[in-house]
Amino acid sequence: MSHLNLIDIFIHRNSYTIALCQPSLTSTKREFFVLSLRDLVS
For the chain, give the percent of residues with pLDDT over 90: 0
Q: Residue 8 — pLDDT band, cuts 50, 70, 90?
A: low
Greatest Cα-to-Cα distance within the chain, rounded to the nearest angstrom: 28
| Residue 1 scores a pLDDT above 50 | no
Instruction: Tell me what pLDDT residue 14 has.
Output: 56
Nearest residue to 15 (alpha-carbon basis) of 30, 40, 1: 40
User: Distance between alpha carbon 33 and the CA centroid of its chain, in Å?
Assistant: 3
Instruction: Tell me what pLDDT residue 12 has.
Output: 58
